[in-house]
Each structure stands twice: as C-alpha cells, then as structure tokens.
Copies of this chain bind each other. A is one copy, B any other.
Amino acid sequence: MSISIQEADFDSGAEIATLTADSADAGAVASFVGLVRGGEIRAMTLEHYPGMTEKALAEIVAEARRRWELLGVRVIHRVGRLLPGERIVLVAVASTHRQAAFAACEFIMDYLKTRAPFWKREETTAGSRWVDARESDDEA
C-alpha cells in the first residue's frame, strides 16, 4: 500500500500497472480518478495538514484492508492550486475479485471526499472562498 500527497500530477495508467506488477493473483483493479470540474470554477486550491492527512489516509486504507481481501492499494491526492480538468485524486485497488476491488475503492473514495483532512478553496469569476463542509460532497 502506498499513499502520496503531492503537488505533481500523476500517470493513472502507470500507477494501475505498477499495482499489479508484483502480484500474480491480481485479476482485478478498480480505480477512481477525480478531476476538477469546470463550469463556474476557475481554479481550486487544496490544503492539507501535513502528517495528519497522511496518517488519516493510511488508517482508512488499513480499514479497507481489514474489510476486504486486497492485494494492493494506491492513493495519490494532489494539493495546491488546480485548474478545471486537472486530476485531483487517484484511488486504485487490486484484488483477486472485482467485487472487493470496487467496494474498497468506493469506500476509500467516500472517506476521502467527506472526512479526509483537506480544505478546498474555490476561485470563481465572483472571487475566491473556502468551501463549506456541508456543500463539499456535491462534487464528483
């Protein structure tokens, strides 16, 4: 299992391939890529709590591994200022069976989108503001 919080973009295909390169049993990789949606948003800035955010993600991945039989988990979450269409997050889960891979991937994503220690600021033509917790899970 590998968790990265980084400003840099990532290569989804390479990450998915790496996840299964070492496991002959990995018949299934479910993954999710989240992107900055366009529309009124001109840019989005993501802030995190270095140390605590990584720890929180590691805990949720460990929880997923307790719930499902997983062969590998990769989480990459970008921080900093991102433009519409840019990738924000990748969660990829390898398992022997697709149901476990899907369920665990969705479980980790639900946590990431709602409870992970990130704060979002949106820039629109009307200005810039921090997103309220209540409205934040509208997206993706």
A16 touches B12 (CB 8 A): yes
Q: State which size class the interface on A falls in.
A: 35 or more
Residues of B within 8 A of A84 (CB): 24
Contact residues of A: prevailing secondary structure: mixed
Contact with A20, one of B13, B35, B113 (Cβ below 8 angstroms): B35
Residue of B whose beta carbon sits closest to that of A15:
B13
User: How would residues 102 to 140 of chain A score, 1 for a CB under 8 Å from any chain B CB and 0 otherwise?
Assistant: 100110010001000000000000000000000000011
> A25 interface residue, CB < 8 Å from B?
yes
User: Is A96's CB within 8 Å of the partner chain B?
Assistant: yes
User: When chains A and B are docked, how far (Å) is the Cα of A20 from the Cα of B113?
Assistant: 20
Query: B20 and A85: CB pair below 8 A?
Result: yes
**Which B residues are CB-close (under 8 A) to A139?**
27, 97
Of A36-44, A47-55, A56-64, A72-80, the one contacting chain B is: A36-44
Residues of A within 8 A of B (CB): 11-17, 20-21, 24-39, 84-85, 96-99, 101-102, 105-106, 109, 113, 139-140
Could you tell me the distance between the alpha carbons of A17 and B97 in the complex, rounded to whole angstroms?
25
CB distance from A60 to the nearest CB of B (A): 16
A13–B9 CA distance with the chains assembled, in angstroms = 13
A-B contact pairs, 19 of them (CB 8 A): A12-B13, A12-B16, A16-B33, A20-B85, A24-B38, A24-B39, A25-B38, A26-B35, A27-B34, A28-B35, A29-B34, A31-B31, A34-B98, A37-B96, A96-B140, A98-B106, A98-B113, A98-B140, A99-B106
